[in-house]
A and B are shown apart, each in its own frame.
Chain A
C-alpha cells in the first residue's frame, strides 16, 4: 500500500420513496437545494461527479450515479450529512464502492502464475 490513499469509486443506485411524491413543491425544492449544497461541498473537497444515469431498464432502481472520492472519509462524511438532512427519509439507495486501481488484472496474473507454479496448469 502506498502512503497516499487510493481514490474511491462509488456506485450509487437510488429511487424516491413514496413519501417524496406527497411533499409540497416548496418542501421538495427546499430539500433538493439542501442536498445539492451537501454534494457540492463534497465536490469542493475533491469528489468528482461522473454522471447520473437512468437505469430502470436494467435494474430495480431508478437512477445510478457514479462518483469518485479522494478517500473513504470524504464519502462517509457526505452520507452523514445527507442522513442529517432527511435525504434517506425520502430516497432509498443501494451502494457499492471500490478502490481505484490502474492495474486491474495484476492480482489475477500473480495468482495464475502461482497456480501454474503449483502444477495447476
Chain B
C-alpha cells in the first residue's frame, strides 16, 4: 500500500541550547535513519520553511511503499534522538490512486532550489467534507483541480486518504513556482467549487536547501534531497 507522510514541526528550547557535539552527533544519527528509510523505499520531497505562514517551522513530505516503512523510519528517528529537539505533527495517508490528482512524473522529481530563481513553494492541504455534507471523497475536488492548477505551474503529488488516522478525510501535497500561484489556485477553487469546496487547512513553506538548527543554518550539510540525488 503506497502511503504519503507529512511532518510539520517546530524546534523546542533544547535545540537552542544544544552543544555542538549533541547537534552534530544527533544530526549524523538522523542522517543514518533517513538513509535506512531510503533503503526501505521512502522518497522525500524537500524541506520547506513555513514559520512565516503557520505555527510550524518546517514541513516535509514523503511517499513510502508501505506503512511499515514509515513506522520503522520514525522508530529509527526516535532512537536517533530527532524528537528531543522538536514538537511534531505527523500525518499518514493511503494513496487514493486518483492519477488526476498526481502530475505526470511527480514522484520521480525532487524539487530543488535553482540559483537565481525564487525557491519553489511546498503546500500541504488537508481536506474534510463540510459539516452536514458527506465526507470529502475528492471527486469534485479532483475533477476541477487539475486544469486549474496545471496552468499555474503547480505540481500535484497525489491525494492520500487519512481519515483512519486523523480528523481529516485526506491530504495532498503540491509544489508551486511561487506563493502567488498557490493563492491564485485556491482562489480559483473557491470560484469553481463554491459549496462543494471541502474544509481545507493549508500550510505553505519555502523550499530550503539547508536546515536551521537553533539560530544558525547548517550550511555544512545539504538537506536530504542532495544525498538522494547522489545515490
Contact = CB atoms under 8 A, between A and B. Distances in A.
Contact of A93 (B51, B184, B193): B51
A5 B191 contact: no
Interface in A94-121: 94-99, 106-108, 110-112, 114-115, 120
Contacts of A106: 191
Interface string B185-210: 00100111111000000000010000
Contacts of B51: 79, 83, 88, 93, 95
Contacts of A8: 179
B182 to A, nearest CB: 9
A107 B54 contact: no
Contacts of B178: 72
Interface of B: 11, 13, 16, 49, 51-55, 57, 118, 152, 178-181, 183-184, 187, 190-195, 206, 212, 214-216
Given A94-B54, A95-B52, A97-B52, A114 B194 contact: yes
Interface in A1-32: 1, 5-6, 8, 10, 17-19
Given A1-B184, A19-B16, A75-B52, 15 more contacts: A1-B181, A73-B118, A76-B49, A76-B52, A79-B52, A83-B212, A85-B215, A89-B13, A95-B51, A95-B52, A95-B53, A96-B53, A108-B194, A110-B191, A111-B190
Nearest to B118: A73
Contact of A107 (B11, B13, B191, B215): B191
A110 B206 CA distance: 31
Interface magnitude class on chain A: 35 or more
A114 B144 CA distance: 14
A6 B215 contact: no
A112 B195 CA distance: 8
A5 to B, nearest CB: 5
B180 A6 contact: yes
Contacts of B216: 84
Contacts of A88: 11, 51, 57, 215
Given A108-B194, A111-B190, A114-B192, A1 B180 contact: yes
A50 interface: no
The 9 A-B pairs of least Cβ separation, nearest first, read A111-B194, A94-B55, A107-B190, A72-B179, A99-B183, A79-B52, A107-B191, A110-B191, A89-B16
7 contacts: A1-B184, A18-B13, A75-B52, A83-B215, A86-B215, A96-B53, A107-B190
B180 A95 contact: no
Contacts of B118: 73
A19 B13 CA distance: 9
A108 B190 contact: yes
B52 A84 contact: no
A97 B186 CA distance: 13
A86 B194 CA distance: 43
Contacts of B215: 83-86, 88-89
A81 B52 CA distance: 12
